[in-house]
Copies of this chain bind each other. A is one copy, B any other.
Amino acid sequence: MFSKACQYGIKSVIYIWKQSLLGNKVGAKEIAEHVDAPEPFTAKILQELVRKKIIGSQKGPTGGFYADGAHESFTLRDLVEVIDGDGLFKGCSLGLKECSETNPCPLHHEIKKVRTHVVDMLTKKSLKQLAQEVERGETVLARFDF
């Protein structure tokens, strides 16, 4: 469903939000450790997320990645689209060049409903809200004894 890059991206951004809510900027290394992802690869993904303004970053000492008011409205849907593109939401799931309501592939109508459900899931909560759930201990980003 999600690529590895996307999984790392999701966990990283939630972790960044969690720390930002506590007033901390965090470095790529710390992030990678806390979400159980390879550091250099994670750094690459974060770079892209900064470029697309899903999160912010600052260089130099006391710098790091962060999220604030400017990023408050982003959801998983935005993040997933940046990293994995819109293949999960758009286009024929069987790869037909011409697939539409009047010329539907065997999965067309059913996939449409599943996609609505998926988009619902990905837009229901903001990334910030997901981080708040982690902060409250309702959900976790890695094994919880970490």
Contact = CB atoms under 8 A, between A and B. Distances in A.
Interface of A: 1-2, 4, 7, 10-11, 14, 36, 76, 87-88, 93-99, 103-108, 110-111, 113-114, 117-118, 121, 124, 130, 133-134, 138-144
Contacts of A130: 106
A32 B117 CA distance: 32
How many copies of this chain sit in the oligomeric assembly?
2
A145 to B, nearest CB: 9
A106 B139 contact: yes
A141 B93 contact: no
Contacts of A94: 2, 7, 10-11
B106 A141 contact: yes
B14 A140 contact: no
A133 to B, nearest CB: 6
A94 B99 CA distance: 30
